[in-house]
Structure 1
Amino acid sequence: MSFLSIFASLGRALCYCMCLSLPLTAYATSLEAYLGYPLGEWHVRHDQVNGFLEKLAADNPRVSLEDTGYSHERRRQLTAVITSPANQDRLNGIVADRALVKQGKAQPMLVIWLAYSIHGDEASGAHAALALAQHLALSQESWITDLLSQSVVLITPSQNPDGLDRFANWSNSYRGIAVPVADENHKEHNQNWPAGRYNHFLADLNRDWLFLRHPESRGRVALLHKWQPQYVGDFHEMGHNQSYFFQPGVPERTHPLTEQRNQQLTEKLAHFYRQALDAKQQAYFSRQGFDDFFYGKGSTYPDINGAVGVLFEQASARGQVQDSQYGGISLAEAIDNQLTTSLAALKGAHQLRQELISFQNDFYAGKGKTGKQGRLISTRGDRQRLLVLADLLNRHGVVYRYLTQDMKEGKQIFTAADSLFIPNEQPQSVLVEALFERRTRFEDPTFYDVSAWDLGSAFNLAIAENIRPAANQLSTDAPAFGQPALTEDTVALLIDWQQSGAAPLLAQLHRDGIAVRASVKPFTPVASARAFAAGTLMISTAQKQMTRDALLPYLTDLARQYEVRLFPVVSFASATGIDLGSGDFVPLKPVNALLVSGRGTDATEVGEIWRYLDLELKQGVTLVDSDRLARISLNRYSHILLADGNYDHLDDALGRKLGEFAEQGGVIVAQKRALIWLNKRNLLRNTVLEDGFYKQQFSTAGLGFDDKEALRARQAIGGAILNWQLDPAHPLAFGMPSATVPVMKNEVLGLSDTSEPFVIAARYPQNPLVSGYLSDEYQRAFGLSNALLAEPKGKGVVVGTTDNLLFRNIWLGTEKIYTNALYLLPAAMSR
Structure 2
Amino acid sequence: MACALFVKTLFLGSDLTLITMKKTILSFCLMLAFVSNISAQLQSPTEFLPAYGKQITHYHQVEDYFKYLTDKSNLIKQQKYGLTPELRDLNVFFISSPENLANLEQIRNNNLAAIGLSNSKNQMIGDKLIVWLSFNVHGNEFAGTESAMTVAYELINPTNIETKKWLENTIVILDPCINPDGYSRYGNWLREISGKKNHPELSDREHMEDWPGGRYNHYLFDLNRDWAWQTQPESQQRIALYNKWMPQVHTDVHEQGFDSPYFFPPSAEPIHEYIEKYQRDFHDVLGKNMSKKFDSNNWLYNTSERFDLFYPSYGDTYPAYNGAVGMTLEQGGIGAGREVMMSNGTTLSIKDRYTHHAAAVLTVVESAAAQADVLLKGFRGFMNNSRKTVKGYYKMYVMKNNPKLVQLAELLKKNNIDFSYADANVKASGFNYSTKSEKGFTIETNDLIVKVDQPKAVFAQVLFEPNQKLNDSLSYDITAWALPLAYGIEGYAVKNSLDFKTKVAIEIKEKVVPQNVYAFHIPWNNRISAQVLSLLHQNNIKVRSAMKKAVFGDVIIEAGGLLVSKADNPKVVDFEKTISKLIKVKDDYNYITSGFSSNARDAGGENFNLLKAPKVLLLSGRGISSTEFGATWFYLQETVDYPVSVVEINNLKRINLSDFNTIILADGDYDLSDDQQKKMEDWIKNGGKVIAMNGALSLFEGKDGYALKVYATDDDKTAAEKESDLEVLKERFLDFQNAERREISKSIPGAIIENQLNKSHPLSFGLGDIYYSLKTDGTYFSLLKDAINVAYIPKDYKSYGFIGHEIKKKLKNTVSFAVDSKGKGCVIYMVDNPLFRGFWENGNLLFSNALFLVN
Q: Same fold (TM over 0.5)?
A: yes
Q: Which whole-Å deviations, capped at 9, do the CAs of 1:782-815 have from their partners, x for residues lacking one?
A: 1222221101111101000110111111001122
Structure 2 letter corresponding to 1:800: Y
- Give 1:170 shift: 0.8
Question: Structure 1 residue 770: deviation in Å?
Answer: 2.4
- Within the alignment, does 1:556 sit opposite 2:576 as a pair? no
Could you tell me which residue of structure 2 aligns to residue 162 of structure 1?
181
Q: How much identity, in percent, do the aligned residues show? A: 27
Say if 2:753 is the partner of 1:722.
yes
Change (3 A) 1:108 1:778: same
* Aligned equivalents of 1:695, 1:420: Cα separation in 2: 48
Q: 2:742 corresponds to which residue?
A: 711
Q: Which residue in the other structure is 2:820 paired with?
A: 791
What is the CA distance between 1:23 and its match in structure 2? 9.4
8 A contact 1:670–1:800 mirrored in 2: yes
Matched-pair contact (CA < 8 Å) for 1:723–1:740: yes
Q: Secondary structure at the match of 2:308?
A: coil
Residues 608 and 806 of structure 1 are in contact (CA less than 8 Å); yes or no, is this contact kept in structure 2? yes
Q: Is the alpha carbon distance of 1:819 and 1:414 closer, same or farther for their aligned partners in structure 2, counting shifts above 3 Å?
A: farther
**Paired residue for 2:797, among 751, 758, 768?**
768
In the alignment, is residue 134 of structure 1 matched against residue 150 of structure 2? Answer: no
**Of 805, 811, 814, the match for 2:840:** 811
**2:703 pairs with 1:678:** no
Residue equivalent to 2:765: 734
- Residue 500 of structure 1: how far off its partner (Å): 2.6
Could you say which residue in structure 1 is the equivalent of 2:487?
459
2:129 maps to 110
How far does residue 169 in structure 1 lie from its aligned partner after superposition? 0.5
Name the counterpart of 1:781: 810
Partner of 2:598: 575
Give the conservation status (yes or no) of the 8 Å contact 2:133–2:173.
Answer: yes
- Supply the distance in 1 between the matched residues of 2:741 and 2:150 (Cα, whole angstroms): 42
CA distance in 1 between counterparts of 2:232 and 2:409 reads 16
In structure 2, distance between residues paired with 1:767 and 1:293: 28
Aligned to 2:275: 258
Shift, 1:34, TM fit: 7.8
1:487 lines up with 2:514 in the alignment: yes
Aligned to 1:9: none
Which of structures 1 and 2 has the bigger CA Rg?
A: 2
Partner of residue 665 from structure 2, selected from 627, 637, 642: 642
- Summarize the Cα distance change of 1:16–1:324 in structure 2 as closer, same or farther, 3 Å threshold: farther
Amino acid at match of 2:214: G
Indicate whether 1:755 and 2:811 are aligned.
no
The Cα RMSD (Å) is 2.7
User: Which residue of structure 2 aligns with residue 210 of structure 1?
Assistant: 228
- Where structure 1 has 5 or more consecutive residues not aligned to the other structure, the ranges are 1-14, 827-831
Any idea what SS the aligned residue of 2:591 has?
strand
Query: Contact 2:546/2:557 (CA < 8 Å) preserved in 1?
Result: no
Deviation at 1:32, TM superposition (A): 4.3
Normalising by structure 1, report the TM-score: 0.91
- Which of the residues 556, 562, 565 maps onto 1:540? 565
> What residue identity is the alignment partner of 2:780?
G
**For residues 31 and 657 of structure 1, do their structure 2 counterparts lie closer, same or farther at Cα, with a shift above 3 Å needed?**
farther
* Correspondences of 1:184-195 after superposition (within 5 Å): 184-195=202-213
Aligned partners of 1:801, 1:604: CA distance in 2, in Å?
16
Partner of 1:338: 357
Tell me which of 684, 690, 712 is aligned to 1:662: 684
Q: Label 1:147 to 1:545 Cα distance change in 2 as closer, same or farther (>3 A).
A: farther
Quick one: which amino acid aligns to residue 631 of structure 1? R
The separation in 2 between residues aligned to 1:597 and 1:413, in whole angstroms, is 49
Counterpart in the other structure of 2:242? 224
TM-superposed deviation, 1:544: 4.4
Distance 1:697 1:261 in 2: 49
Residue number in structure 1 paired with 2:675: 653
Partner of residue 802, structure 1: 831
Q: In the TM superposition, what is the alpha-carbon distance from 1:56 to its structure 2 partner?
A: 1.5
The answer (yes or no) to whether the contact 1:595–1:640 under 8 Å persists in 2 is yes
State the number of aligned residues: 797
8 Å CA contact 2:154–2:160 kept in 1: the answer is no
> Post-superposition shift, 1:615?
0.7
Give the structure 2 partner of residue 65 of structure 1.
78
What letter is aligned with 2:188?
Answer: N
Q: Name which of 163, 172, 178 aligns with 2:191.
A: 172
Q: 1:469 to 1:61 in 2, by over 3 A?
A: same
Cα pair distance change 1:778/1:684, threshold 3 Å: same
How far did 1:202 drift? 0.5
Task: Give per-residue Cα distances to partners, 1:156-211, cap 9 Å, x unaligned.
Answer: 1101111000011011111222x111122311121111100000110010001111
Give how far 1:219 is off: 2.5
CA contact (8 A) 1:102 1:367 kept: no
Offset at 1:677? 2.1
Question: C-alpha offsets along residues 637-660 of structure 1, whole Å, 9 cap, x if unaligned?
Answer: 12110111122x222211111111
2:485 and 2:177 map into 1 onto residues whose CA distance is 32
In the TM superposition, residue 571 of structure 1 has moved relative to its aligned partner by 1.3
C-alpha contact (below 8 Å) 1:369/1:427 kept by paired residues: no
Letter in 1 for 2:736: F
- The amino acid of 1:666's aligned partner reads G
Q: Equivalent residue of 2:774, what SS?
A: strand
What is the DSSP-based 3-state SS (H/G/I as helix, E as strand, rest coil) of the residue aligned with 1:743?
A: strand
Q: Deviation per CA, 1:683-713: give whole Å up to 9, x if none.
A: 63220369x9797796846532232121112
Give the corresponding residue for 1:198: 216
Superposition deviation, residue 38 in structure 1: 4.1
| In 1: Cα distance, 2:184 partner to 2:843 partner | 33
Matched, 1:438 2:466: yes
Equivalents in 2 of 1:625, 1:271: separation in Å?
49
- Is 1:590 matched with 2:613? yes
Aligned counterpart for 2:501 among listed residues 445, 463, 473: 473
Measured in 1, the distance between the counterparts of 2:116 and 2:357 equals 35
Q: Contact (CA 8 Å) 2:76, 2:96: kept in 1 or not?
A: yes
Q: Structure 2 counterpart of 1:353, which letter?
A: A
Question: Within 2, Cα distance between the matches of 1:140 and 1:395?
Answer: 42
Task: Tell me how far apart the structure 2 counterparts of residues 784 and 565 of structure 1 sit (CA, whole Å).
Answer: 37
* Paired residues of 1:120 and 1:167 also in contact (CA < 8 A): yes
User: Are 2:555 and 1:520 aligned?
Assistant: no
Q: CA deviation at 1:31?
A: 4.5
- Determine whether 1:101 maps to 2:114: yes
- Decide which of 388, 391, 399 is 1:378's aligned counterpart: 399
Q: Cα gap change, 1:551/1:196 in structure 2, threshold over 3 Å: closer, same or farther?
A: same
SS in 2 for 1:601: coil
The alpha carbon displacement at 1:116 in A equals 0.9
Q: Judging changes above 3 Å, is the alpha-carbon distance between structure 1 residues 25 and 279 closer, same or farther for their aligned structure 2 residues? A: closer
> Quick one: distance in 1 between partners of 2:580 and 2:821?
37
Alpha-carbon distance in structure 1 between the residues aligned to 2:801 and 2:647: 35
Q: 1:421 aligns with which of 449, 456, 459?
A: 449
Which residue does the alignment assign to 1:299?
A: 316
On the 8 A contact 1:277/1:284 being kept in 2, the answer is yes
Instruction: Tell me, yes or no, if structure 1 residue 181 matches structure 2 residue 199.
Output: yes
Structure 2 residue aligned with 1:506: 533
Q: What letter is aligned with 1:253?
A: P
**Deviation string for 1:549-599 (max 9, x for gaps)?**
x12112222222x23422211211111141111022111111121111111
Q: Distance in 2 between matches of 1:697 and 1:111?
A: 58
Distance 2:473 2:294 in 1: 31
Aligned-pair distance for 1:543?
A: 4.9
Q: Does 1:269 find its partner at 2:290?
A: no
Q: Is the 8 A contact 1:18 1:24 kept in 2?
A: no
- Shift of the alpha carbon at 1:24? 4.8
Flag structure 2 segments of 5+ consecutive residues without an equivalent: 1-27, 429-438, 712-716
